[in-house]
Structure 1
Amino acid sequence: MTSLALKNLKKSFGPVEVIRDVDLTIEDGEFIVFVGPSGCGKSTLLRMIAGLEDITSGELVIDGRTMNDVPASKRGVAMVFQSYALYPHLTVRDNMGFGLKVRKVKPDEMRQRVDEAAATLKLDALMQRYPRELSGGQRQRVAIGRAIVGHPQVFLFDEPLSNLDAELRVHMRAEIASLHNRLSNTMIYVTHDQIEAMTLADRIVVLRDGRIEQVGTPRELYASPANVFVAQFIGSPKMNIFPASGLAANLSGQDFDLKAADQLGIRPEHLQIVPQGEGLLQGRVSVSEYTGAGSLLHIDVEGAGTFLVVQEGQVAADHGEPIGLSFSNENLHLFDAAGLAIQNL
């Protein structure tokens, strides 16, 4: 197992700075997920670790060794890309063993490594097939197997599930989590999908505009977001964020001190629907979206805007229906004028 340290890493393309002062320590055997919107720098940061992008300044340390000028092939890392990048004229076995063949690994050792990886990924029955004869999930497993056979210290995944349909994505998430449990290697995984981040990560690194916004466990980021950006990026549906002044009038007479807050937040799943005239807020249903297990309601609250509310069960409030909303003090998040978290009530 291997630890990594990113020390004040920067990356510029000409005058454009895309990675800004990134400091991060990754422990042995951790599963770290880089998450953020498109263009936030997460794939660039991964490629810097892999050695596929030069480091403008700062230091990358892997297992105690500075890697800034070490070629990608000598860093002890393996990368799985969004594209499977399999050779169409080679069988599964030959695709998995191709890198070892290039490095002139002895045939017996190469066969043993490929067989071990195939058993780990349950590819044993597919070894003589060609990529065109495989499903998307099977092709991705072959790409992962090609990485495994090199016995890397660190696995890097660059949005490996983006090309799969919804059902296969769920299946492959479980496969990757299981693989980490079996191998215990350090893994760094890039995605824009916060559900993938929440379900896979030991810790999540939330990026925006080339900077780290917050690092923490999925539970920490969900319960105690450092700012409005993290609050709305982590969690689905996203947190409701509104001006504190707009809600202060609606909450008059209640035991809330909103004086320090410029904005406040409440998650859709933490709002309860109550009869009109009851609760802390009064609103009217503008949209009702049936989701199967329940409904997602859009509720207009005068002076505060539109709230998203998760309503469980098969019976949902109708369009135009007036309702009340209630919530607990402990679920209200306060943010200052800069969007930074103040404290929870």
Structure 2
Amino acid sequence: MADVVLKDIRKQFGATEIIRGVDLTVDEGEFAVFVGPSGCGKSTLLRMISGLEDVSSGELHIGGRRMNDVQAAKRGVGMVFQSYALYPHLNVRDNMGFGLKVRKVPVDERDRRVREAAATLKLDALLDRYPRQLSGGQRQRVAIGRAIVGSPDVFLFDEPLSNLDAELRVHMRSEIAALHNRLKTTMIYVTHDQIEAMTLADKIVVLRDGLVEQIGSPRDLYEKPNNVFVAQFIGSPRMNLLPAAEAKLISPTHALPASAVSVGVRPEHLRVVEPTTDSLSATVTLNEYTGAVTLMHVELPGGQTCLVVDDKRDMPPIGTRIGLTADKDNLHFFDADGRAVS
């Protein structure tokens, strides 16, 4: 295991700065997830850690050792890509052991490591199969196994589940979490899927436009977002954002912070009540029944759409006028610059 420390890391392609000064520490044995919209720089940052991209400026340390000028193969990292990148003419055993063969690891040692990794990933019975004979999930496990056999200090995952269907993504997500629990190795995982980030991470790093917006545990980011971007990026469905004046209707007893211009409330924290002067008036425009909950779309008097999650099976029909309230502890206030205020 090793920690990963980034100090004012920057990356430029020509005159364009992609990573604009990132400071970050991933502790030994920690599972950190880089998350953010497409183009935010999360994959570029991962590739800089791996050595596949040069660091334009700043300091990169792995296990206390400066890695800026160290070759990728000598950094002690194992990379799992979005593409499985398996050799079609090699079976599972040879695909997993190929990197060790290139490094001239003795055959007996190579076979031992492959068998151990195959047992960890439940690939024992598939070692003689070829990639064309495997499912998508099995191919992804082979790609992970190829990284495991190198006994890296740090595992790096670049959107490894994006090519899988929804059901298989959920299954593989649990397998990666279980793998981390078994190996206790430092892992850094890149995804644009905030559900993956929330379920896998010890620490989430939210990125936007090459900068870190917030770092913290999934609970910290969900319950105490630093700004509007994090508040609406973390959580599904996304947080409702309303004019601050609406807070007096949603929660009449709550004092409005002086600098607040907007109030955020998550769809699951809104309650449907009879419309009164002490509630926020809304009209139901759509009900989406998903089984466990119903996602209700409502329109506010100003024309803004708001989402409400409710576990009731029978929701008010379309066109019904309702009231909305929320507990004051579930309200989030933001200033004119989008920063959280209390």
TM-score by length of 2: 0.97
Tell me by how many angstroms 1:300 deviates: 1.1
The change in CA–CA distance for 1:211 and 1:320 in structure 2 (over 3 A counts) is: same
Answer yes or no: is the 8 Å Cα contact 1:86–1:131 preserved in 2: yes
Q: Corresponding residue for 1:182? A: 182
**Aligned-pair distance for 1:257?**
2.0
Aligned pairs for 1:146-295 (under 5 A) are 146-245=146-245, 247=246, 250=249, 254-277=253-276, 280-295=279-294
Kept after mapping to 2: 8 A contact 1:239/1:267: yes
Indicate conservation of the 8 Å contact 1:294/1:316, yes or no.
no
**Contact 2:250–2:278 (Cα < 8 Å) also in 1:** no
CA pair 277-25 structure 1, distance change in 2 beyond 3 A: same
Unpaired stretches in structure 2, ≥5 consecutive residues = none
Partner secondary structure for residue 284 of structure 2 = strand
- Which deviations, in whole Å up to 9, do the C-alpha atoms of 1:119-169 show, x marking residues without a partner? 000000001100001000000000000000000000000000000001100
In the alignment, which residue of structure 2 is the partner of 1:68?
Answer: 68
User: What residue number does 2:49 align with?
Assistant: 49
Aligned residues: 342
Partners of 2:157 and 2:48 in 1: CA distance: 13
Unaligned runs of 5+ in 1: none
Contact in 2 for aligned 1:279/1:325 (Cα 8 Å) = no
Distance 2:289 2:252 in 1: 35
| Match runs of 1:14-163 below 5 Å | 14-163=14-163
Q: Secondary structure at the match of 1:54?
A: coil
Check conservation: 1:243, 1:304, Cα contact below 8 A. Answer: no
| Offset, 1:294 | 1.8
Contact kept in structure 2, 1:80 and 1:158, CA below 8 Å: yes
Shift of 1:9: 0.2
CA displacement 1:192-240 (0-9 Å, x = unmatched): 0000000000000000000000000000000000000000000000000
Q: Is the 8 A contact 2:11 2:57 kept in 1?
A: yes
| Aligned-partner Cα distance in 2 for 1:233–1:34 | 13
Secondary structure of 1:45 counterpart: helix
**CA separation of 1:180 and 1:251: change in aligned 2, threshold 3 A:** closer
Shift of 1:21: 0.6
Question: The residue matched to 1:114 in structure 2 has which SS?
Answer: helix
* Mean CA deviation greater in 300-309 or 268-277: 300-309
Residue matched to 1:336: 335
SS at match of 2:222: helix
- Which residue identity is paired with 2:280? L
Task: For 1:310, give the aligned amino acid.
Answer: V
**3-state DSSP of counterpart to 1:157:** strand
Following superposition, the deviation at residue 289 of structure 1 comes to 1.4
Q: Distance in 2 between matches of 1:266 and 1:316?
A: 20
Counterparts of 1:257 and 1:21, CA distance in 2? 35
- Bigger drift between 267-276 and 139-148 goes to 267-276
Residue 13 of structure 1: how far off its partner (Å): 0.4
Q: Quick check: 1:242–1:304 contact (8 Å CA) kept in 2?
A: no
> Could you tell me the percent identity over the aligned residues?
66
**Contact 1:278-1:325 at 8 Å conserved across structures:** no
CA-based RMSD of the aligned residues comes to 1.4
Counterpart of 1:288 in 2: which secondary structure? strand
| 1:313, distance to aligned residue in structure 2 (A) | 3.0
- Aligned partners of 1:258, 1:9: CA distance in 2, in Å? 36
| 1:260, distance to aligned residue in structure 2 (A) | 2.3
Distance across 1 between alignment mates of 2:72 and 2:36: 25
Contact 2:251 2:328 in 1 (8 A): no
- CA-to-partner distance for each residue in 1:246-287, whole Å, 9 max, x for gaps? x26746964432532011100000001112337521111012
Aligned amino acid, residue 97 of structure 2: G
Matches of 1:4 and 1:176 in 2, distance apart? 20
Distance 1:221 1:238 in 2: 13
Moved more, 27-36 or 308-317: 308-317
Which one-letter code corresponds to 1:34 in the other structure? F
TM-score, length basis structure 1:
0.96
Cα distance in 2, alignment partners of residues 336 and 40 from structure 1: 24
CA 271–71 in structure 1, closer or farther in 2 if over 3 Å, else same: same
Aligned-partner SS, 1:339: coil
* Amino acid across the alignment from 1:85: A
Give SS of 1:196's match: helix
